Structure 1
Amino acid sequence: MDLFNQNLIHSWQPSQSPRQRVKACTYLIRLILLSAPRTADQALGPSCIMSTAFSYQDCTAEVDEYLSSVSVSDDEPALALHWEQNALSQFVDAANSVDDSVDMPDWLTQPRGSITADSIVEDMMAFLATKAGGRFGRVLLAPNSVVQFGQLCGMFAYIENDAFVRAAAAGMSDGATLAKVFCLTKGSASAAVPMEFPPRENQSRRLFS
């Protein structure tokens, strides 16, 4: 019998009181989480999974801890994000009212009417992370090769050009952006510098700046 099954038997007995069963259940959940295969994100610690900050500036200590475990340099740049709360709120309100004739992108997980600031940021970060070397919460994409860095810049434009995203962006104030993006070539959040995106070839609205 393996260690997990032994713990399962010993921690859950029919004679336990309700309080003991709650404690046993909590223990088993923790055991399952610890024994389950972990992604590269999760292997770096609970802060990588649990961070819910909308800006890297709100969790600089955790960001620095993550950066210390990956390679960041001129050849392996990281991208940090500061999501704009007011713009997100406007975008979400408009997204939930976009006409049904406009198809939603496959990377959005919530249907019209159920989109929230949390869900839209999580969906966008998950989509961006498909081209990144790693991810910390909602605020950091790292490490990245030069090729991955270029692909991420293209992904921002891809999101901005989506028909559904453009329709939702119409509900935002003039000049507002969903997020400000910063580049890191050193292993500290304090070294972040604003990204300079190349000029646009079309007239779609800039949502990441």
Structure 2
Amino acid sequence: MQMHEKVKRKLAKQSAKRPAKRMKSSQYPRPQAFHDRLVGVFSFDNAIPVINEYLASIWIDADNRGFLLNWNIDNLKAFVATANDQLPANAPRWMQTPPPHMTANTLVDDIVRVLREDAGGGCGRVLLAPNNMAQYGNIMGKLRDVQSENFMRVVGQVAFGKVEQHLATTYNLTENQAQQSVRNHITISLNGSRLFE
């Protein structure tokens, strides 16, 4: 028994003399590195490998959800073509690139920037995560506000007519694999428009 105590003391002295081993800051890239790898990506299907890598670096569960956006590039282009015919003064205040200079890229970046104000983090244009329940609810509310803007409603009606078309389909994620996401059901805004589903 005494031998065991001597060995324990000897090991304790040795470890006290040894300099502490420095821990690596992280085995994962910084959030900006994930964002940079997704520049120009509109479809979360095309971003799944990067998204899953990002999800492995954060905590995702029912209380810390991910919010995925799968942008429809054809609908974005049709929307932007119509939007660029509108008066710049009619554009919403959150829109940093107003008509006639809008592109699909600038529109998506403006919308994601607005949503990111309430998000706990994000990865490119396709994922806002992690989000506590309040943040997640705020993102949903902001998205409803964006689609309720008079400018967005008018442009959507001119671009798509009576056919309901969406700029993006949204998903909710409570697992650390993007493939496990479940479609959201965003309600139609009070003015009858629904640009996001």
Residue identity over aligned pairs, in percent, reads 28
2:42 corresponds to which of 54, 65, 74: 54
Equivalent residue number for residue 78 of structure 1: 66
Distance in 2, matches of 1:50 and 1:72, equals 21
- Residue 183 in 1 paired to residue 172 in 2? yes
Equivalent residue number for residue 109 of structure 2: 122
**SS in structure 2 of the partner of residue 207 of structure 1:** coil
1:163 corresponds to which of 136, 143, 150: 150
Larger Rg: 2
Q: Is the 8 A contact 2:31 2:122 kept in 1?
A: no
**SS in structure 2 of the partner of residue 170 of structure 1:** helix
Equivalent residue number for residue 193 of structure 1: 182
Give, in angstroms, the shift of residue 146 of structure 1: 0.3
Which letter maps to 1:140? L
Distance in 2, matches of 1:128 and 1:95, equals 20
Give, in angstroms, the shift of residue 194 of structure 1: 0.6
Deviates more, 1:155-164 or 1:103-112: 103-112
Q: Is the 8 A contact 1:109 1:123 kept in 2?
A: yes
Equivalent residue number for residue 80 of structure 2: 92
Distance in 2, matches of 1:170 and 1:98, equals 13
Give, in angstroms, the shift of residue 99 of structure 1: 3.5
- CA-to-aligned-CA distance 1:8-67 (integer Å, 9 cap, x gap): xxxxxxxxxxxxxxxxxxxxxxxxxxxxxxxxxx83352322412101110111000111
Q: Is the 8 A contact 1:90 1:171 kept in 2?
A: no
Distance in 1, matches of 2:52 and 2:148, equals 32
Q: Is the 8 A contact 1:97 1:113 kept in 2?
A: yes
Give, in angstroms, the shift of residue 110 of structure 1: 1.3
Which letter maps to 1:114? H
Change (3 A) 1:104 1:147: same
Matches within 5 A, 1:95-110: 95-99=83-87, 103-110=90-97
**SS in structure 2 of the partner of residue 109 of structure 1:** coil
What TM-score, normalized by structure 2, do the two folds share? Answer: 0.79
Unaligned 5+ runs, structure 2: 1-28
Number of aligned residues: 166
Deviates more, 1:105-114 or 1:130-139: 105-114
Give, in angstroms, the shift of residue 130 of structure 1: 0.3
**SS in structure 2 of the partner of residue 150 of structure 1:** helix
Distance in 2, matches of 1:96 and 1:200, equals 24
Deviates more, 1:46-55 or 1:149-158: 46-55
Give, in angstroms, the shift of residue 200 of structure 1: 4.0
**SS in structure 1 of the partner of residue 158 of structure 2:** coil
